[in-house]
Chains A and B, each alone.
Chain A
């Protein structure tokens, strides 16, 4: 096990609603990245947080936002949900100054109806 945890495991929402997903990084890891994985696709990078600051962002609209807390846990917030937001959301933690291997949590499967 990687020590990265995510909650909830599954979630069902309707279009237009808002959702918050949570991630606890592996002990000592100060960097958290979030990914969206649609069925049959590879994970797509959403953004990365390093020491509570957004460190980089992929091609996702502003309704995808995040936070990182002093204990390095993180949240992903998605506003105005759309049907295409249905996916597996993965977070990955890493230690920025110890190489760049990322370790993934089990993911949150979001279904938007």
Chain B
């Protein structure tokens, strides 16, 4: 079993739709959680950190469920510019950041 698992997609959704991604992790001692966005052939960029209490940034909402060991990302009112790969990242230990393979999102006009 991979340490961090994501559905690779692609998710093809129309503009204005709401889309949700999940990510599961295997190490119950994991300490920090993030969502990064990566555009084609570019570097990953931090989208948001994920906290147990959940956090929201505009159209984006992230949730952490430690009991079930998954994190989620919800995107409301999808825009064409949201088309990208979304990477789930889990930190286990001082330095070990583990990335999922990413979920591809394509928002269609």
> How far does the Cβ of B102 sit from chain A's closest Cβ, in whole Å?
5
Question: A108 vs B94: C-alpha distance in the bound complex, in angstroms?
Answer: 26
**Chain A 35-72 interface residues, beta-carbon cutoff 8 Å to B:** 35, 40-45, 48, 50, 55-56, 58
B22, CB-defined interface residue at 8 Å: no
A58 to B98, CA, bound (A): 10
Q: Which of A14-22, A77-85, A95-103 contacts B (4 or more CB under 8 A)?
A: A95-103
Q: How far is the CA of A101 from the CA of B44 in the complex (A)?
A: 12
Q: Are A33 and B95 in contact (CB under 8 A)?
A: yes
B35 to chain A, nearest CB (A): 12
Separation of A58 and B97 alpha carbons in the complex (Å) = 10
A106 CB contacts on chain B under 8 angstroms: 42-43
Looking across the interface, which residue of chain A has its beta carbon closest to that of B93?
Answer: A56
Q: A100-B32, A104-B43, A104-B44 are in contact. Are A42 and B97 (CB under 8 A)?
A: no
Q: Does B45 contact A (CB under 8 A)?
A: yes
- Are A56 and B95 touching (Cβ within 8 A)? yes
- Cβ contact of A103, chosen from B46, B87, B94, B95, cutoff 8 A: B46
The interface residues of chain B lying within 8 Å CB-to-CB of A43 are 44, 87, 99
Given known A-B contacts A40-B101, A42-B101, A48 and B95 have beta carbons under 8 A apart: yes
A-B contact pairs, 30 of them (CB 8 A): A2-B43, A41-B101, A42-B87, A42-B99, A43-B44, A43-B87, A43-B99, A44-B99, A45-B98, A45-B99, A55-B94, A56-B93, A56-B96, A58-B96, A88-B41, A90-B44, A100-B32, A100-B91, A101-B34, A101-B46, A101-B49, A102-B46, A102-B97, A103-B46, A104-B44, A104-B45, A106-B42, A106-B43, A107-B42, A109-B41
